[in-house]
C-alpha cells in the first residue's frame, strides 16, 4: 500500500518522502468534480505505468507497463463517450496530452479513480506522476521525485493501491 497525505508526505514501505497534491487540497471522492484541482480522498488501484521511452528506460516494476507515444492523450471532456479514458490525439473532445515537453509525465501511473464505472464530471486523469523540482501543487494528481518513484515502483505489485488521505497528526 502506498499512502499520500494532504500534508505532503508520501509513504511506501518504511520510507517517508515528499509529495505534491492538488492545488485545491484533498476532498472526498464523492464531491470531486472535473477541473476543481482537488485530489480525491480514497484508495485508488494502480492500473498501469506509462513512461517516456525517449527519456528513460522502462522502470523496474511488476505492474503493467506501456511506453508512451506522442499521439497519446487522456479525455477530460465529461460529455464525451471516452471521458476519463485514454485516447489518440487529435481527439474531437478535450483531452490532455500525455507526451509533454516538461518531465512530469516521464513516468505516470494511472490511478483507478472514477473508472469502475466512469461517471461524467466526477474527475478525470487522476495520476501518480513526477513532481516539479519545487513540488508545486498538481491539478489533482499525486507527484513525487523521480528517484522516489523508481524505488516505489520497484516495490509495487498488481493489486496494490495508492491511498490519498487527509493530513493526520504525526505524519
Domain CATH number, residue 154 = 2.40.440
pTM for the structure as a whole: 0.96
Positions of E strands within 13-137: 15-18, 26-28, 39-51, 65-67, 72-75, 86-88, 95-97, 107-111, 127-130
Give the residue from 119, 108, 98 showing the smallest Cα distance to 33: 119
- 128 close to 33: Cβ distance less than 8 angstroms: no
User: Does 70 map to a domain?
Assistant: yes
Give the residue from 109, 84, 103, 86 showing the smallest Cα distance to 10: 109
167 pLDDT band, cuts 50/70/90, is: confident
Which helix (H) or strand (E) element contains residue 2? Answer: strand 2-5
User: Does 171 map to a domain?
Assistant: no
pLDDT single digits (tens) 98-129: 999 999 999 999 999 999 999 999 999 999 99
- Domain of 145 in residue numbering reads as 2-165
Quick one: pLDDT at residue 171? 47
Task: Work out how many domains the chain is built from and give that number.
Answer: 1
Q: Please name every residue paired with 10 in a beta bridge, in sequence order, or none if there are none.
A: 4, 17
Give the whole-angstrom CA distance, residue 23 versus residue 3: 18
Question: Hey, how many other C-beta atoms are within 10 angstroms of the C-beta on 141?
Answer: 27
User: Does 68 map to a domain?
Assistant: yes
User: Does 31 map to a domain?
Assistant: yes
Q: Cell numbers of 168, please?
A: 493526520
169 pLDDT band, cuts 50/70/90, is: low
User: Does 39 map to a domain?
Assistant: yes
User: Does 24 map to a domain?
Assistant: yes
One DSSP character per residue, 33-61 reads -TTS-PEEEEEEEEEEEEE-TTTSPPPP-
User: Does 50 map to a domain?
Assistant: yes
Amino acid at each position: 500500500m502506498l499512502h499520500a497525505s494532504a500534508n505532503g508526505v508520501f509513504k511506501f514501505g518504511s520510507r517517508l518522502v515528499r509529495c505534491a497534491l492538488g492545488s485545491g487540497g484533498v476532498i472526498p471522492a464523492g464531491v470531486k468534480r472535473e477541473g476543481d484541482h482537488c485530489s480525491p480522498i480514497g484508495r485508488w488501484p494502480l492500473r498501469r505505468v506509462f513512461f517516456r521511452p525517449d527519456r528513460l528506460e522502462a522502470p523496474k516494476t511488476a505492474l503493467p507497463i506501456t511506453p508512451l507515444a506522442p499521439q497519446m492523450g487522456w479525455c477530460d471532456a465529461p460529455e464525451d463517450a471516452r471521458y476519463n479514458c485514454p485516447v489518440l490525439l487529435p481527439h474531437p473532445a478535450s483531452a490532455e496530452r500525455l507526451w509533454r515537453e516538461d518531465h512530469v509525465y516521464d513516468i505516470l501511473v494511472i490511478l483507478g479513480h472514477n473508472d469502475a464505472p466512469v461517471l461524467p464530471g466526477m474527475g478525470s486523469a487522476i495520476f501518480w506522476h513526477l513532481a516539479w523540482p519545487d513540488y508545486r501543487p498538481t491539478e489533482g494528481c499525486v507527484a513525487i521525485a523521480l528517484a522516489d518513484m523508481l524505488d516505489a515502483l520497484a516495490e509495487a505489485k498488481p493489486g496494490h493501491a495508492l491511498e490519498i488521505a487527509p493530513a493526520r497528526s504525526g505524519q
